[in-house]
Structures are given as structure tokens and as C-alpha cells.
A and B are shown apart, each in its own frame.
Chain A
Amino acid sequence: MRQILKPFLLLLTLSNILFSCTKDETTVALSVTAITVNNLPADTVLGINTTTGMPFSAGKYTFFSLERNAIVPNTDSASTQWDLAFASNKILTNGGTSGKGLGGAFVYVGLFDDLKSIPSDSVFKTDNAPASFAVTFGSGKGWYVYDQLTSLITPLAGRVLVIRTASGKFAKVEIINYYKGGVTLPITASDSDKLSKQRYYTFRYAYQPNGSKTF
């Protein structure tokens, strides 16, 4: 028994060394740093309609390129320049019914730092408006919860938006806050503050430019 095992053990050790070597090297080579984006406006509230009593806004998305860490002008909305589009609590990816790109996404339950590589059996969804979206829309279903009592939106902890960009590269995104200045308003805040300060995204992301699924 022992004699049979020995070569195996040796092989195991060897492969271990080999593997860990390559692994270490790739990690160094592929290491991507997380970038934090503050106060990204997403169709902010402009006022209140006096007849319906409902808040109104311009109804326009803010387009964002993860690759360039920059806002993309609305004139380029029909291009593959952008990866994510934000309007109130909706997040679109550049694919399916939303855009010309290869974009897609899914919501991963876990920690941003723990997601070192996208599991191979992951299924990316694409936008299929209005029935479904790659980044699931709705309270408690995707990245946030909405509290009817306090009218506040809180991003869910332990949710990572795994994004396939317009060009088919991969990124991971964690939404940190939905309010101006990156601080959720206290429940006692005035209704006008709750309206005027919402729809400002603070999020961090890591973008992998080499096309691999590891971060």
C-alpha cells in the first residue's frame, strides 16, 4: 500500500508546487485594484408634480464605462462605450434589450473580496425589458431593499453584481450607498431630503481588462 502511494504523493506534491507557482504568478499579473465611484447621479429627482403628488425627474439614464471609469455622454447610449446605466434604483447592462454590447450580469451572494474568480457554472442573465433584468430589479431581489415605512433604499450587504461588460470582459461591483455623500439618511429625515438626496450611487468595482474571470 505504502509503496503504491509513494509515487502518488510525490506527484501530488509536485503538482502542488507547480500549481501554486502558476497561481501565484497569475495572481500577481492579473491583480486588479478596486476603484470607488462616489455620488454618481442616477436620474435625480427634480421636483414634485403638484397634481399627482409624485416626484418627477428627467427620465434619463447615466451611462458609465467600467473600463475607463468615466461617465459616457447620453449621445453614446446606442454604442458599446458604456457598461452600466443607472436610473433611480434600476441598473442596466449593455446587452439584450438594453444595448448593442455583449453585456450581462448576475447577483452573487457573498463578499466582494471573497469573489476571487467567477465560478465556471455561473449563468449570466441579459436584460429582457420589461419582464426581467440582468441586475434583478425590486426590493430584496437584487441589490437593495426598500422600506415602505421610511421610504429609504438600503443596498443589501453581501451582494456583488458580477458584470459582463459591453466588450465581453468581466467586472465585479458592490453598491455601497444610494444617497448623496454616501451616507444613508436617518429615518427621521424630512421627505424633501429623502427625495432630493436619493439616486446618488456610491459603489466600488474591480475590472479585469484581460478577459479572464479572475480578480
Chain B
Amino acid sequence: MKLRLLYFLVFAPICLFSQVTFVKDTIQTQGDSVVVTATRSERKLSNVTVPVTIINAQSIQQIGALRLTDILKEQPGLSMTSGFGAGVQLQGLNPDYTIILINGEPLVGRTAGVLDLNRIALGNIKKIEIVKGPSSSLYGSEAMAGVINIITDATTKTPLQSSLRYGTYNTIDAGLNNTLASKFIFYQGYYNYYSTDGYSIRPSSASRVTTPIKRIATNQQFKYNLTNNTNLLVGLRFTNEQIKNELSVTNGGLTINSNGEEKNTDYNIASSLNHRFSNSLKTSFRSYITQYNATQNLLTISGAPYTDILDHVFNRLENQTDWVVNKKLTAIVGGGAVMEGVKSSRYDSEKIRKTNTNQYAFSQWEWIPNSKLILIGGIRFDQNQTYASAWSPKASMLYKINKKNRIRLSVGQGFKAPDFRQLYLNFTNAAAGSYSVFGTAQAQKVIGQLNSLGQIGTLYNNFYQLKSLQPEYATGTHVTWEFEPNAKNNFSFQLFRNDIRNLIEVQQVGAYITGAQIYSYLNIGRAFTTGFEFEAKHQLTKQFSISAAYQYLETGDKDQLAQIKNGTVYTRDANGLSRKLNVSEYVGLPNNSKHKAQLKFNYSNQNGLFGNIRALYRSKWAVNNTNGNEVFDDGDSFAEGYIALHLSIGKDYMNGLGFQFGCDNMLNYIDALNLPNLPGRTFFATLKIQKSK
């Protein structure tokens, strides 16, 4: 491993290159940000038809965010989940349904559908773009709730930048950023080291909620201008995590310890060859290779060693051509092919890689009939080896009513392809009742074989309904009204609704003769998420600003709602006697808070002094169906609502020196059961040195 890392560190800067934006395309804007994710081409934020949030490097730095999780948890409309690493929930949709891109290329390596966002260091990020609403018309599978695109900084003017941070629980973060540029060649290298001792917030437990972690990350970007109109970009990213697992289970005074190590490595190489034929026509060929490997080794004192491997490769070739037809009409046409494969201990053999190929084509047309209106229509077709093909249309518009008011409207369909686990899982949990889960690609065959061996006790009706899985689909509608009465104030109000169908759910399809359950996956669920978001920003003085945001969210499983209306779902009254559940008691999907709000005060002056205080509120959310009636209602367990209060102050000096001090979770809010990723009050101090310009 170390050798491989060394190889990357030494050779990568020499032979590899990066960044996926056009050199000449940089739109000159004054105070108006540029967005690439919304249309796969650079657009001014004020001309984008879909709802987009931009988080810039300055706000990442000023709150002292280290990992992607740190910044996303403070965005309106997003919340973090804590099973299988830190995932992000967008407008009530689970982490599975948001695609995470780095410079436009997807990150892979999801466990149970969750991509751990702690894997991503923020040191050399230029900005993060968040597009809300189905975006499969451009990005294909997973872009069902939205897109989060992390754009690395390839245009930094600072040649050398370094930072060192120390915080509670012996948390160390060190970063180094280096840039070299000549007329034809541009190089940027970023290195990050992070380690923490982890913490335990359960008083009676010796095991730590967050275990000791060491992370190394590097990002190398290289750009070579072949001619004035052609360039070659190569980006290389590598991360390595080592997580120490120490589990200790105490039962009646007897403690069973098991310990081990988890190693996760992740690299990606993105290269693109870009050529501009004329001012109205350009094309880009991209190749992307990525691999994620997670190996977990556990050793218990009494018991066999346990190894769990997940290895995911994803290779893609793609072309995108942008054509400016005339002043009013712009088109994007593209297509590509993906070869993907996964090896896992939880499949029938960890040595055989399960593979899948996918071809796709997309097109998007942007029409600007007059200065007030922009209309965009797009469609993408994905054809697949292992599941049914999918069409993803989307239409959106921006209407500038006047200088102060804008309306954005978008309607689109997104999809998520069945993942490898849903197709190939072959897992029997010996530790918990010996139940089995079989992916649909093999379920009928494997269960059939078990049946002929006389091991199957019962087969349910839905066993016979098992067939190749369909993608999950969502139709999303977003309407946003933006009001900017003057330079000091702006408001936005958004209504959203997502209707999801074909949800893939784990279902019991039979039982062994021992009674142990057998599960597989079926396309059965129908759900919705709907609500509104309100954001306001007020500039009090040149230095001082206040921003506030609120989200109201309602979610629900449509089939469960129908059952409740039919009177076939029960709960208990105050005396413990059964009664029918009322629709008003239904709370919808778990892990969703109805109310989320935030209030931020921000100060920053010309002398480099800055400070901010952020209050984030989340109302109660359902965590566990305690009463067993299969729906989440008032009678179930909830995590209590809470406020997290964070503070950060710092000063950047003209000579390149900078200091920052922060305190996260000042109110020391702890909920060990439901918020394992929220330690109590923590402090940090950062020193930055950058070579003056």
C-alpha cells in the first residue's frame, strides 16, 4: 500500500494532469457566481433555470470545515445520516439518491447505498454546487434527489499554502497546497493528513463511537495547453483511510473485546481532451477510472477472524459537444459507456467480480427567446446490461419578471439503477439468527438449489414474483421565487415535491426449515417527499450579515398511507388496548424532521478579521418502529429535536499568516443513540501559512 502511495506521490505530478472546465470559458462575472453542474456547461447563477446552491471556498474556510460532512450539514434542505458512515439526505430522500461528483465525475464505493462523505477532504476545494431536483437527464443513475458537485481549485494564484489544525480528541489535520504554472503547463498538488483518536459518548461503554482514524488524501491536477484551442487535463485523486475498530460488548459484567482494522482506499484518474473548433463549437473527450477498496479485518477473542471486502471499479468514456446554434439557441449532445464491477465477501464468491455495462446518450437544448425567459429541455437514455433501460426527461425555465423578481420552474424524472448489492448479495448472517439475503440476479436459482436440497421450509407468493429489478424512478417538481428588493436583502422561497415509484425494498420471500428468514429485493414501494424552503439574507453593514433558512418537510409511504386509510394499521390507546391508527398520527418516512431551521451571523472586515456564529435546529425525527405496526407513527421512538451552535473566529494577515479558532457544538448537545456522529463540545485551533503573492 505504502509503495503504491509513494508511486502516486512521486509520479503522478510528473505524468498526470487535470480539471474539467474550459480555460477560455471562464465567464467574467462581477459578484455573480458561475455554475457548471446545472447544465453541464458554465452559466451565471442568475441565468440557471434549476435551484442551485453554491458554497464557496471562503465560507468553507471561515466555518473551519475539514470534511465534506462538516459543510453539508449546515446547508438548508440537507441533513446527515449516521448508519454506514455519514451520508446526506436531500429534501427527505435517502443518501442513495444523491450523486456525489468530483469535478463532474461520480464517486463510488457505497455501503448499503451510503457514500461516506467523511472521505472527502475540503482543503483544495474551490466550491461545491448543489442542484436540487432530479438531474438524471444529465447525470444518469443516482441523480434522483439531486447532485452534489465538488469542484477543486485549479486556478489558485497562491503558489504555496499550508495549514495545521489541532483539536479536541487529539484531532490533527495538516494540509499542503502547491501550484506551479507556466504558459503551457499548470500543476497543482494537494496533500492532506488527518487523524483523530475518536471519542466515546456513552458513559457505560468503553468502545468509541468514532474509532481512531488516520486518513491520507492527495489530489494532483495537471493541465497542458497543446495549442490555443486544445488542452489536455488530467486529475488524480487518492485517499486512504485506516480505521481502528475496537468493539467491546459488556453483558452482565462480562466483556468481550474484538478489535481489528478497516482500510479504505479510493483513487480516481480523470482525463479530458478538449478542443474548440470555433467560438460556437467545442468538444470534450473524457475518460474516468476509479476504484474503491474497503477491507475490514476483525479478530474476536473467542471466535474466528472476520474479513469483509468490498471492491468497486468504475470506468467511463464520454464525449460531450457544445454547440451554440445561434444567439438564442444552445445545444449539448453527449454519450458514453460505463464498465463497472464489484467484488464483495457478501456475494457468492469474493474472487469473482460482478460486472455491468451501460451505454448512454443525452441531449439538452437551451432556448432564450427574449431577455426575460430561458427555457431548457433535456433528455437522456441509459441502456443497461442487467436491468431495464431508462429515459430521463427534464424541462426547466427561468422567468425574470423584473430586476427584483425571478421565478424558476423545473420538472424532471430521475432514476436510480438497482445496485450490485440488490442484484448479487448472497449473505447469511450467522451472528443474528442465520437469516439470508439474496440479490435478485441469483435469488431464484440459489433458493431453488436450497429447495432441492430440502433446506427450504416455506416459499411466499412474492418469491414467484422475483424478476429482474427495474430502476427506481422519481418525478420532481421545483418552483422557486427569488426576490431581491435591494443589494442588502435577498429572499428565496421554494416549493418542492418528489414522487417516487418502483422503490426497491427488502422483502421476506421464504424461510428455511429452521424458520430463519430468506429475503430478496422487489420493486414495490411508492413514496413522496414534499415541502418548502425559505431563505433570507440581510447585509447589516459592510462587515456584518445575517442569514436565515427554514425547511418544512413532509414525507410518506403511499402504500402505508393507503393501509392506514383502510383501517388495517393498529396502535394502542392510553390503556394499552389496540385501536386503529389515524392518518393524522402517521409521521412518514423515518429520519426526517418536519422542521429544520438555521440562523447565521457572519462578520468579516477588510483587515482579514472574520467571525461567525451558526445555530442549526432540527425537530424530532422517527428512528425506530417500536410498536411494530410497520409504519412510523406518534407511538414510535423519536430522536428529540436539538440545536447545534457553532462558533469560529480568525484572522488572516497580509503577510500570509493566518489563525483560526473554533468551538463546535457549544451547547454540548449529546444524543449517543441517535447522533453518534455528534461529539460533545469540541475546540480547534488552526495555523495557516501561505507564501505571499
Contact = CB atoms under 8 A, between A and B. Distances in A.
Given A157-B570, A174-B578, A187-B637, A53 B254 contact: yes
Nearest to A51: B254
A111 B570 contact: yes
Interface in B552-580: 568-572, 576-580
Given A150-B626, A157-B627, A158-B570, A177 B576 contact: yes
B251 interface: yes
A75 B133 CA distance: 69
B253 interface: yes
Interface residues of A, number: 34
Contacts of B625: 145
A187 B640 CA distance: 13
Contacts of A145: 625-628
A53 B673 CA distance: 23
A158 B252 contact: no
B578 A158 contact: yes
Contacts of A174: 577-578
Given A111-B570, A154-B627, A55 B579 contact: no
B578 A111 contact: yes
Contacts of B628: 140, 144-145, 154, 156-157
A48 interface: yes
Contacts of B256: 53
A187 B629 CA distance: 18
Contacts of A112: 577-578
A147 B577 CA distance: 20
A202 interface: yes
A138 interface: yes
Interface string A36-52: 00000000000011111
Contacts of A156: 570, 627-629
Interface string B628-669: 110000000100000000000000000000000000000000
Contact of B253 (A48, A54, A157, A202): A48
A204 interface: yes
B252 A55 contact: yes
A53 B252 CA distance: 5
Interface in A136-172: 138, 140, 144-145, 147-150, 152, 154, 156-159
A38 to B, nearest CB: 11
B626 A202 contact: no
A96 interface: no
A147 B623 CA distance: 12
Nearest to B571: A157
Contacts of B305: none
B432 interface: yes
B624 A150 contact: yes
B515 interface: yes
A176 B577 contact: yes
A152 B578 contact: no
A53 B251 contact: yes
Interface string B364-405: 000000000000000000000000000000000000000000
Contacts of B253: 48, 50, 53
A48 B252 contact: yes
B578 A149 contact: no
A138 B570 CA distance: 19
Given A148-B432, A156-B629, A177-B576, A49 B252 contact: yes
Contacts of A55: 252
Nearest to B578: A157
A89 B7 CA distance: 60
B519 to A, nearest CB: 13
Contacts of B572: 157, 176
A152 B252 contact: no
Given A48-B252, A50-B252, A50-B253, A204 B629 contact: no
B254 A50 contact: yes
A52 B253 CA distance: 10
Nearest to B575: A176
Nearest to B250: A53
Contacts of A177: 576
B579 A157 contact: yes
A209 interface: no
A174 B572 CA distance: 12
Interface in B429-451: 432
Contact of B577 (A138, A187, A204): A204
Contacts of B578: 111-112, 157-159, 174
Given A50-B253, A50-B254, A111-B570, A152 B629 contact: no
B570 A152 contact: no
A51 B251 CA distance: 10
A158 B515 contact: no
Contacts of A50: 252-254
Interface string A97-137: 00000000000010110000000000000000001000000
Given A48-B252, A50-B252, A176-B576, A157 B432 contact: no
Contacts of B577: 112, 174, 176, 204
Interface in B532-565: none
A176 B626 CA distance: 14
A163 to B, nearest CB: 17
Contacts of B570: 111, 156-159
Interface string B183-206: 000000000000000000000000
Interface string A182-197: 1000010001000000
A191 to B, nearest CB: 8
B252 A154 contact: no
B327 to A, nearest CB: 61
Interface in B241-255: 251-254
A208 to B, nearest CB: 20
Contacts of A204: 577
Contacts of B626: 145, 147, 150, 152, 154, 187
Contacts of B254: 50-53
B83 to A, nearest CB: 11
A204 B572 CA distance: 14
Interface in B415-474: 432
Contacts of B580: 111, 158
Nearest to A143: B628
A44 to B, nearest CB: 16
Of the listed residues B253, B515, B578, the one surrounded by the most CB atoms of chain A closer than 10 A to its CB is B578
Sorted from nearest, which 5 A-B pairs have the closest CB atoms? A158-B570, A145-B628, A48-B252, A157-B570, A53-B251
9 contacts: A50-B252, A112-B577, A131-B515, A149-B624, A157-B571, A158-B569, A174-B577, A176-B577, A187-B637
Interface of B: 251-254, 256, 432, 513, 515, 568-572, 576-580, 624-629, 637, 673
Given A48-B253, A177-B576, A191-B252, 17 more contacts: A50-B253, A54-B251, A55-B252, A147-B624, A147-B626, A154-B627, A154-B628, A156-B628, A157-B572, A157-B579, A158-B570, A176-B576, A176-B577, A182-B576, A187-B626, A202-B576, A204-B577
